[in-house]
Amino acid sequence: MASYADVVWNAAQFKLDEMMNKPEFKAKPSAALSVFMKNTDFLVPASERERMWNQKPSDTTAVTLKTLDKQSISTGSARAHDHTGNINDGSTATASYTTYSATFKYSIKQADRHVFSLGEEIAAQIRSAAIALNSSIETALMSSLNTNRSQSVISTSPQAGTWDNTNYWFGVSQTEKDYYFQHIQAFMFEQYYSGQFDLVNNIGASIKMGQIAQQGQGNATNLGWQIPGLNAVTSTAFTNETGYDFMSYIVPEGTIGILPWIPVQNRTGFGDTFQNGGSYSSMLDPLGSGLTFAVHQYAAGSDTSSAGGEVQDVSVQVELSVDLAPVYAPMSTSNASPVYKVGLLT
């Protein structure tokens, strides 16, 4: 079917309202992205954001992260006048950026015979591109959480449950199902973490959390005391591993983040869509993720009569893009990470 063939003025028509259009433009929940973005303020304060952007002047420039290691220090049982120690060390990690892009095309005459205005048609295309970008980013970040989950624990025999030292995830017994969220917090306490935690639940864990959260003092059993301290989101892209009824990723607040980047020409604005080379600009993600997308547009003469336009027309090619580097709090312990994969055993 030709593009826009169904919206050309060839009969009495009317436009659906915004509510009726929402099912068509539904978007995959960006659970992991929301957690990474939320914690970026801990990783890179707003005052440092511009410096961080300027540190990476081009697509190919590497960005390194510096940190100080916890020093391994032996304790003694006596004082000495000639005591000796060792100098500490630090670590360097490279931020691994991935570029995400989405393209579409419109023509300046395509709406002349349509029920929709050109602005409405372009807005729908922008939203479609944003939905596609967010979906790809979410898939990548969920995979990143899994790849970067901790393979290290303080003890391979935690008191709060069972540690799988082959697959590197923590299991809560089925008999403790109603206390799952207490057990995973207790497990994190055994890893010396306390305070607020971010939680990415799959659908099963989200259902259980909702049931527990709604338990009140007036009910026969009050289980809601487990929930404070957990900032939870729900992912539709998180399936159970074999042997688990539901699963979550649990992360100490402020220990992960994401470094977004777009080229300086897009940040400051450059060029003209209808001149050689096109235009460079930027826009906020219309889905509300907080990301800023780079926008590049260029125009060329074209025949768009088969797409609802005209034989003599100008087509504009549009690209939305962003570079993202997920960052995890670096640790000197081999294979250690602040991210743990946890679940309820069947």
- The arithmetic mean of pLDDT across residues 332-339, rounded, is 89
Q: What is the pTM of this model?
A: 0.85
Between 63 and 287, the higher pLDDT residue: 287
pLDDT of amino acid 291: 94
Task: Inform me whether the pLDDT recorded for 179 exceeds 70.
Answer: yes
Backbone angles phi, psi at 276, to 5 degrees: -55, 130
What is the average pLDDT across 308-320? 90
Alpha-carbon distance 212 to 246, whole Å?
15
Give the model's pLDDT for residue 308.
Answer: 76
**Share above pLDDT 90 across residues of the chain, in percent, rounded to a whole number:** 53
SS3 54: helix
Phi-psi region of 52 (alpha: psi -120 to 50; beta: other; left: phi over 0): alpha
**Chain segment 97-116, per-residue pLDDT in tens:** 999 999 999 998 888 877 78
The string of pLDDT tens digits covering residues 246-278 is 999 999 998 999 989 999 899 999 999 999 999
Average pLDDT across the chain, whole number: 86
User: Does 148 score more than 90 pLDDT?
Assistant: yes
Q: What is the mean pLDDT of residues 48-69?
A: 72
Nearest to 35 by CA among 294, 203, 234: 234
Choose among 188, 177, 205: nearest CA to 250: 188
Report the pLDDT averaged over residues 316-320.
94
| 245 three-class SS | strand
Confidence (pLDDT) at 16: 62
Query: What is the pLDDT averaged over residues 116-135?
Result: 90
Q: Say whether pLDDT at 5 is over 60.
A: no
Is residue 71's pLDDT more than 80? Answer: no
Q: Does residue 137 carry a pLDDT above 50?
A: yes
Q: What is the average pLDDT across 220-226?
A: 56
Q: How far apart are CA 13 and CA 84, in angstroms?
A: 86
Q: How far apart are CA 43 and CA 245, in angstroms?
A: 33
Give the pLDDT score at 318.
Answer: 94
Q: Does residue 343 carry a pLDDT above 70?
A: yes
Q: How far apart are alpha carbons 201 and 32 in whole angstroms?
A: 10
Residue 218 has pLDDT above 80, yes or no: no
For residue 213, what are the CA distances in angstroms to 188, 227, 228, 230, 246?
Answer: 20, 6, 9, 11, 17
Residue 170's DSSP bridge partners are 163, 342
Q: Which residue has the tokens 């074209």?
A: 302
